[in-house]
Amino acid sequence: MRGAEALVGSLVEAGVDVCFMNPGTSEMHFVQALDSVPEMRGVLTLFEGVATGAADAHARITGRAAAVLLHLGPGLGNGLANLHNARRARTPVLLVVGAHATDHVRHDAPLQSDITALAQTVSGWVHTSGDVRDVADDAMRALAATTEHGGQVATLVLPADVSWSEGGALAPALPATPPVPPVPSRVTAAAAAVREPGAVILLGGPALGVAAMDAAGRIAAATGARLLVETFPRRWDTGAGRPRVDKLAYFAEEAIAQLEKASSLVLAGARSPVSFFGYPGVPGDLVPEGCPVVGLADPASDVTATLEALAAEVAPDAVAEPAPRHAPEPPPGPLDVRSMCAAVAATLPDDAIVVDESLTAAGVLAPALQTAAPHTQLALTGGAIGQGPPTAVGAAIAAPDRPVVAVQADGSALYTLQALWTQAREQLDVTTVIINNSAYAILRVELARTGAGEAAHSGRAGRMLTLADPTPDFVALATGYGVPARRVETTEDLLEALRWARSEPGPHLVEAIVPALG
């Protein structure tokens, strides 16, 4: 069989049965293999950043790597931003990048570039397949590599001739790298820390599933330790019935205030907290001076088992206090960020997946969701914006029975809005609420923090931060990509639009016109 068929067939045997793709000429034999290996589902995207973001989300939901197929260096370039987010989330992603045929490389044809150098910036493992006889084995090594270090991107560069040549053979899957089991000495140290008043446990990485959150909740109930979730969780099971946990704030000053009274900081799957950006005169390290940091479990660990071991030690009989279900009807009238978030919370279906790229609205959205229907949140782990619409694609394909609700900042949406087309083609159950404030509102805040003051809203500098003149029309854009859409300006209309979106299958978009915060 051809190399491409051996590759695709081996992936399917190993449990990888979805490939998000944006192929070109050098990948035509991979595409052709979709006809002979029908178990592989090809999902076409109009832009590579959609494919990579979708694969990240798919793996966050399923716990297994999805495949991505991209076209040469420029295709990989277009996919890098969401691979950066995947890298920061430690998501297993199997990236296949088509390349020129091996003996074509010496011609330095127009599309030739250094694929390996690009891939290395986001991947823990990079290899160029050199022979059709090896390609399936190479793919299995890549797949195994996605499970190392708690999860990572592994990139297989696939020359066109390796793909088109006969002589390939199926290869068996290799064992996955298991997470690091609980370390007793660390559990003992953490137990001592949380028994002291004022301890804070920072939860992150893989520590945010139902079982881990329950263990954390029991520890908090028994010891009084305060729980915080990292600012941008990769996957967080939260909402009513699960422990109520605040997020660490985005802006350094607020995060410092949250942590300032901590007697110790216990890290469970989270890295030691640092400021998202550096600012003049603001510390980058958010741990208060003198506060001991106790590494209970790093992100490559079996954090759930470690938290359960800690709970067994310090909270054998405790019960986690669940957040109540309390999502009040939002106040009627013209929308603002508060009523918009309240409406999303009040109407959230049970067991939904919430894609949060709400940026300036996140500080309002998170508390509103704490007491909404139980759900799973996916956040912007690496800060590379344009993650939301592709994440909704991947989540909906990973969990077709779960509704996906994406709360999406306007400026960020415009990086990867092509994802709407894939939502329409695959008829995904996604409701996107666009927060249209006609601005890069987060940057207005940041420009104001430089001391620019009013310049953030006017002048030549301010013009670089406004999305007005012209204000993008998201209803028209969604329509252009085949997604039914409505624009709303009041709470009543938003609630009605959310009911409409839920009343029929397939994707919908609701453009909520809200004034920018601040």
Rank residues 8 and 139 by Cβ distance to a second copy and give the closer one. 8
Least distance (Å) from a second copy to the CB of residue 122?
Answer: 8
Rank residues 208 and 309 by Cβ distance to a second copy and give the closer one. 208
Rank residues 62 and 113 by Cβ distance to a second copy and give the closer one. 113
Rank residues 101 and 210 by Cβ distance to a second copy and give the closer one. 101
Rank residues 98 and 239 by Cβ distance to a second copy and give the closer one. 98
What is the spatial distance between Cα 267 and Cα 225, in angstroms, rounded to a whole number? 12
* Nearby residues of 175 by Cβ (< 8 Å), 6 or more positions away: 144
Q: Helix (H, G, I), strand (E, B), or coil: what is residue 90?
A: coil
Q: Helix (H, G, I), strand (E, B), or coil: what is residue 326?
A: coil
Least distance (Å) from a second copy to the CB of residue 280?
Answer: 6
Rank residues 401 and 454 by Cβ distance to a second copy and give the closer one. 454
Least distance (Å) from a second copy to the CB of residue 108?
Answer: 7
Least distance (Å) from a second copy to the CB of residue 473?
Answer: 5
CA atoms within 13 A on the CB side of 304: 12
* Nearby residues of 207 by Cβ (< 8 Å), 6 or more positions away: 213, 216, 268, 269, 270, 297, 303, 304, 307
Strands 236-238 and 508-513, sheet pairing: unpaired
Evaluate whether 177 touches 164 at the Cβ level (below 8 Å): no
Rank residues 13 and 446 by Cβ distance to a second copy and give the closer one. 446
What is the spatial distance between Cα 308 and Cα 303, in angstroms, rounded to a whole number? 8
Least distance (Å) from a second copy to the CB of residue 354?
Answer: 20
Evaluate whether 147 touches 87 at the Cβ level (below 8 Å): no
Least distance (Å) from a second copy to the CB of residue 471?
Answer: 8
**Tokens describing residue 299:** 């992100």
Least distance (Å) from a second copy to the CB of residue 405?
Answer: 22
Largest CA distance in the chain: 70
How deeply is 56 buried, as exposed, middle or buried, from its count of CB atoms within 10 A (0-12, 13-18, 19+)? buried
